[in-house]
């Protein structure tokens, strides 16, 4: 929501509250029983104004906090990516590294889908995978897949090729697909640019960590629901109506207080 629209919505809500205040001031011309009706009308007007004018502004609060975090120096966002080995990861990395705000891009592990292992096959792969390539830092054998953690500066394409070569020798078949788990670190101020580059390739981060995401999560967890916020706005309407009803009593008290303070200073 742009600033002009925000100002207009706030102005319209204030006008509604002025109207509620004016209704409250008419209390002296009404029977005492009508006060409850005035408060009910004030609650409804406050709720309607909150739902139509303040709620859209309130929903933008995470984005406001988000924008503030982007301006802070040295803030970084970490994006966890699940990539298909069929995409050109080297080209993606070069594209990302050429963008302002790039920090690092590391291919951490690959996940190779297999068949449903029986116990003997599971034990066999658990013993043999670590000996296929010295750049396999670690490995985990699942029920129907193999996850291999890569050494630093070792690419997923190299890891998949070495595994496929071994698999060809043993099983006379090829492995051509794996899911690549990578970690991208960028400046918070450039987060949108990198997110757009990924979206153009159909890539969505499976997890994001950093000040921006933390601020969004914290803000969302502390915010009221739309219904709760609307009820609070209705309560504001009731408070404004009370001020209008008792303004004749409040003004003299305020004047007496100011006069008392002035006289006290003179002494």
The 10s digit of each residue's pLDDT in 75-129 is: 899 999 999 988 999 999 999 999 999 999 999 999 999 999 999 999 999 999 9
What sign has the CA pseudo-torsion 251, 255, 261, 264? negative
Q: pTM for the full model?
A: 0.70
Residue the block writes with tokens 């209390």: 27
The pLDDT of 13-42, averaged and rounded, is: 85
Q: Which residue has the higher pLDDT, 262 or 240?
A: 240
Which band of pLDDT confidence, cut at 50, 70 and 90, is reported for residue 249?
A: low
Smallest CA-to-CA distance from 114 within 179, 64, 53 is with: 179
Residue the block writes with tokens 């809500």: 13
The 10s digit of each residue's pLDDT in 45-60 is: 999 999 999 999 998 8
The 10s digit of each residue's pLDDT in 217-235 is: 888 888 889 999 999 999 9
Please give the Cα distance from 243 to 46 (Å, whole number): 14
Backbone φ and ψ of 210, nearest 5°: 150, 175
Smallest CA-to-CA distance from 211 within 80, 69, 65 is with: 69
Please give the Cα distance from 113 to 194 (Å, whole number): 29
Please give the Cα distance from 148 to 175 (Å, whole number): 14
Alpha-helical runs (H) found in 152-246: 156-171, 191-200, 211-222, 226-245
Which band of pLDDT confidence, cut at 50, 70 and 90, is reported for residue 239?
A: very high
The 10s digit of each residue's pLDDT in 63-72 is: 777 777 777 7
Helices 191-200 & 89-97 angle (0-180, nearest 10): 160
For residue 38, the model assigns a pLDDT of 87
For residue 78, the model assigns a pLDDT of 95
Which band of pLDDT confidence, cut at 50, 70 and 90, is reported for residue 267?
A: low
Which band of pLDDT confidence, cut at 50, 70 and 90, is reported for residue 188?
A: confident
Q: Which residue has the higher pLDDT, 80 or 250?
A: 80
SS3 205: coil
Please give the Cα distance from 183 to 199 (Å, whole number): 16
Residue 145: HSE in the Cβ half-sphere, 13 Å Cα cutoff: 10
SS3 41: helix
Please give the Cα distance from 159 to 151 (Å, whole number): 10
Please give the Cα distance from 49 to 187 (Å, whole number): 39
The 10s digit of each residue's pLDDT in 146-163 is: 999 999 989 999 999 999
């Amino acid at each position: 929501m742009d600033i002009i629209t925000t100002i207009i919505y706030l102005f319209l809500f204030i006008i509604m509250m002025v109207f509620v205040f004016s209704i409250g001031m008419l209390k002296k011309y009404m029977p005492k029983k009508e006060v409850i009706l005035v408060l009910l009308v004030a609650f409804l007007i406050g709720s309607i104004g909150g739902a139509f004018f303040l709620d859209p502004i309130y929903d933008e609060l995470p984005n406001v906090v988000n924008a503030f975090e982007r301006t802070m120096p040295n803030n970084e966002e970490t994006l966890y990516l699940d990539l298909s080995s069929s995409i050109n990861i080297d080209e993606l990395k070069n594209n990302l590294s050429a963008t302002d705000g790039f920090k690092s891009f590391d291919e951490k592990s690959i996940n190779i889908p297999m068949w449903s292992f029986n116990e003997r096959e599971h034990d066999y792969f658990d013993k043999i995978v670590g000996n296929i390539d010295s750049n396999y830092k670690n490995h985990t054998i699942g029920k129907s897949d193999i996850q291999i953690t890569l050494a630093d500066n070792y690419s997923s394409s190299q890891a998949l090729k070495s595994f496929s070569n071994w698999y060809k020798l043993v099983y006379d078949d090829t492995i051509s697909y794996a899911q690549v788990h990578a970690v991208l670190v960028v400046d918070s101020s450039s987060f949108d640019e990198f997110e757009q580059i990924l979206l153009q390739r159909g890539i969505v981060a499976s997890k994001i960590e950093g000040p921006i995401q933390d601020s969004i999560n914290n803000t969302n967890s502390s915010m009221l629901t739309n219904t709760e916020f609307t009820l609070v706005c209705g309560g504001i309407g009731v408070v404004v109506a009370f001020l209008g009803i008792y303004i004749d009593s409040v003004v003299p008290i305020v004047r007496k207080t100011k006069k008392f303070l002035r006289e006290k200073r003179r002494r």
